[in-house]
Structure 1
Amino acid sequence: MARRHWLDPLARKVLQAMGDLPKDPLRVDTSPAPSEETTVAPSWCIDVNRATAEQWRQLPGCSDVMVDQLLRLQQGGVQFSQIEDLAQLLDISESLCEQWRPHLIFRWHGDAPQLPKHSPLDLNAASPILLAKTLPWPDERLERLIAERRREPFQNLADLQERLCLPPATVEALIGRVRFGARPAGPSLPPRG
């Protein structure tokens, strides 16, 4: 049997990489073959930010409504950085989330966003004052948001993006930071002073 060096394994690997120690002899793996119960890597994966409708439909429980919403956001330039974004956006269960997880790859195309730090703001119910304090938007955009949500509550980010003509960067900044609940009541946005 080859004599092992007295250094800890990490130091030994460093010295081997530098050429100061010979490489360890190859060892034959005598462990038993994996059983059928062993978790197997998924045979297919999708890039969440570039997926086609057919790829989304491969996921168990991914409905046509979900596919439509995801494609609309993708066409609007919106990207996702984590599965929690999808779970919140699509309102999917934890178990479905775990079924999807091995098949999803989150490749960010461009600069990565910052993750949210606060609980989500309900864009359909938040007061105009809270909207003005929370969203760094121009007054005209906030007024349009309030007028549109009075007409009909927003359903999701894709609906918000389309109705307000929001740029992708603005929508990406809202992922995980907003939700779409009940219809609001109350006055319009007060003037900023």
Structure 2
Amino acid sequence: MARGHWLDPLARKVLQAMGELPPEPSARPTPAAPPEPPSWVVDVNRASASQWRQLPGCSEAMVDLLLRLQRGGVQFSQAEDLIQLLDLPPELAERWRPHLVIHWYGDAPPQPPAPPLDLNAAAPERLTAALLWPADRLQRLIQERRRRPFDNLADLQERLCLPPEVVEQLIGRVRFGERRPGPSLPPGC
């Protein structure tokens, strides 16, 4: 004798749709598959220009900034630092996140405190207390920002000839506020 229900197929489907009969084993919904990992990723501390350009909305100015920092030996310890540095809108940041991979090369990454310090506007006393830099480096920072406000971390690194470790400690801890246009000055390294 067959193991199926004795009702005709149409009556069985009506009763299943109304919930009076359980669905047939082959008609039970299968659990959703986990989301597929992205087909490509960007190692933010070693990415090439072409890899950065794969990210939606990554402008040439962003690519240039990231490559300049990379050439200067700077590394990111978390995606949030990259997103903050580039001032990405939330919807664009969410589109980037699945593709970003952070690999730290070398010793353990620094842990940045908050809130960010505005290097273009902070009082010298605040800079001294927050940065804990040698006096001559602080003087150069103040002199350079008087000539022209800093645009970003790469600009700061190049104009003050900062080593990568110093710049890495600033990621996520500083910002550059409102910038006013000024003459472009060559780095003095």
Judge same fold: TM > 0.5, yes or no.
yes
Match of 1:115 among 111, 118, 121: 111
Match of 2:157 in 1: 161
Match of 2:30 among 21, 29, 32: 32
Match of 1:125 among 113, 121, 125: 121
Q: Residue type of the partner of 1:90? A: L
Q: Which has the larger radius of gyration?
A: 2
> Does structure 2 conserve the Cα–Cα contact (< 8 Å) formed by 1:149 and 1:183?
no
Shift of 1:113: 2.4
> Does structure 1 conserve the Cα–Cα contact (< 8 Å) formed by 2:68 and 2:154?
yes
Cα deviation 1:44-97 (Å, max 9, x = unaligned): 011110000000000000000000000000000000011110111000011111
Q: Residue type of the partner of 1:151? A: R
What's the TM-score, normalizing by structure 2? 0.76
Match of 1:81 in 2: 77
User: Gaps spanning 5+ residues in structure 2: where?
Assistant: 1-27, 181-189
Match of 2:132 in 1: 136
Cα deviation 1:128-172 (Å, max 9, x = unaligned): 011111111111100000000010000000000000000000000
CA distance in 1, matches of 2:108, 2:90: 25
CA distance in 2, matches of 1:58, 1:111: 29
> Does structure 2 conserve the Cα–Cα contact (< 8 Å) formed by 1:42 and 1:103?
yes
Q: Residue type of the partner of 1:108? A: W
Aligned residues: 153
- Within a 5 Å distance, the mapping from 1:8-87 to structure 2 comes to 32=30, 39-87=35-83
Q: What's the RMSD between the two structures over aligned residues?
A: 1.9
Shift of 1:183: 6.2
What's the TM-score, normalizing by structure 1? 0.75
CA distance in 2, matches of 1:49, 1:183: 27
CA distance in 2, matches of 1:135, 1:114: 14
Match of 1:93 in 2: 89
CA distance in 1, matches of 2:177, 2:110: 24
CA distance in 2, matches of 1:183, 1:107: 32
> Does structure 2 conserve the Cα–Cα contact (< 8 Å) formed by 1:124 and 1:154?
yes
Q: Residue type of the partner of 1:110? A: G
SS at match of 1:55: helix
Match of 1:147 in 2: 143
Shift of 1:116: 2.0
